[in-house]
Amino acid sequence: MNLTELNRVATAMVAPGKGILAADESSGTIKKRFDAIGVESTEGNRRDYREMLFRSEEAMRQHISGVILYDETIWQNAKDGTPLIKLIEQSGAIPGIKVDEGTQALPMCPGETVTVGLDKLAERLKKYYERGARFAKWRAVIDIGSGIPSMTAISVNAHALARYAALCQAAQIVPIVEPEVLMDGDHDIDRCYEVTQRVLNKTFQELRVQRVALEGMVLKPNMAVSGKKCAKQASVAEVAEKTVRLLKACVPAAVPGIAFLSGGQSDEEATAHLDAMNRLGRLPWGLTFSYGRALQAAPQKAWSGKAENVAAGQRAFSHRARMNGLASQGKWDPSQEKKAA
Ligand code: 13P
């Protein structure tokens, strides 16, 4: 393992003004997104859609440091025969790959899951590296509800995340470690804070036990936010203050960067929260975005599966990428949203 190189890649993934495009929706998830815009989820349509994103020059060159791909996409070619992964490399962004295989019910823990995909992972990583992937992603899912999460669910998911991270580093691939505490539910921000703290502490404990080099990874956490169904929604300032406090308490400074998931926040909320955090003063790590929905909802709608809408889709993507690029430097304000609209 070459840790200097892993650290170089991890640092580039969180470069100031840039962040990660999470375009790694599984076939099931992308079908849901396409259903919402009335587009059939065929292999061709998935290719056309992602090709549109990766050919968005302004967004890709200026605001996107890396792209997380799904297995199908990493092997796909653009319409003109160029591998999609080449389009990403040509834009100067780093290609990455989702390697977990989703969640399964956790025995004895009703309502809870564990993320699977460790079997044969070493072999798969080797193939992805040869194809050009320089980082990977594994998402653990922790739900908040009455009596959950259990310590069992937190432990097994943290253990799997660390197993995955160690295998990635051995394959010279930077692991994005993503323990997502869901924002569904009616819990308040303090309950989210408390659960996320337990999850992050357990995750870093496992990473240490399994000898993962913190300098060669990126953390992808949720923010501390109110549950979607909570009557009392925390303000932008409260989310920023509590999230930064939580991360400072749990994430060692050796980690080069933290790239948040959007997790169902609205596009503008996700941007405003990131911006507010980056205005709180110097932080020990880079703090940026690794958004799926908050970067793609607008371009999906603008595109709606029609070739004549490709330019509009690219404009919508570039706008969101630019707004989040500004937020990653604490330089965004709402008037920039209106100017572009
Ligand atoms: P969202 O930003 O839509 O939560 O997706 C990010 C992601 O990669 C989840 O695994």
Instruction: Say whether 228 is catalytic.
Output: no
Catalogue the long-range contacts made by 305-309 (C-beta closer than 8 Å, 24 or more residues apart): 305/34, 305/37, 305/38, 305/39, 305/40, 305/45, 305/49, 307/48
For residue 22, report the distance from its CA to the centre of ligand 1, in Å.
Answer: 6
Instruction: Name the residue with tokens 């090709």.
Output: 51
pLDDT of 3-59, one tens digit each?
999 999 999 999 999 999 999 999 999 999 999 999 999 999 999 999 999 999 999
Residue type, 283: L
Our answer on whether the CB atom of 297 is closer than 6 Å to any ligand 1 atom is no
Q: Where are the domains of the chain?
A: 3-340
Output the pLDDT for position 104.
Answer: 98
Give the separation between CA 264 and CA 244, rounded to whole angstroms: 20
Q: Is the pLDDT of residue 341 over 60?
A: no
Output the pLDDT for position 215.
Answer: 98
For residue 340, report the distance from its CA to the centre of ligand 1, in Å.
Answer: 25
Q: What is the mean pLDDT of residues 275-285?
A: 96
Q: What is the mean pLDDT of residues 271-290?
A: 97
Our answer on whether the CB atom of 221 is closer than 6 Å to any ligand 1 atom is no
pLDDT of 293-314, one tens digit each?
999 999 999 999 999 999 999 9
Structure tokens at 341: 């609209």
Q: Using an 8 Å Cβ cutoff, are 164 and 99 in contact?
A: yes
* Percentage of the chain modeled with pLDDT above 70: 99
Domain at 3-340, CATH class: alpha beta
Residue in 25, 51, 112, 178 annotated catalytic: 178
For residue 292, report the distance from its CA to the centre of ligand 1, in Å.
Answer: 4
Cis bond upstream, residue 179 (ω within 30)? no
Instruction: Name the residue with tokens 């793609």.
Output: 296
Specify whether the backbone of 46 is left (phi greater than 0), alpha (psi in -120 to 50) or beta: alpha
Residue in 18, 202, 220, 242 annotated catalytic: 220
For residue 307, report the distance from its CA to the centre of ligand 1, in Å.
Answer: 26
Q: Is the pLDDT of residue 340 over 70?
A: no
Q: What mean pLDDT is reported for the chain?
A: 98
Pairing type for strands 94-98 and 135-142 reads: parallel
Q: Using an 8 Å Cβ cutoff, are 176 and 24 in contact?
A: no
Ligand 1, residues 289, 293, 324: which to mutate, most atoms within 8 A of Cβ? 293
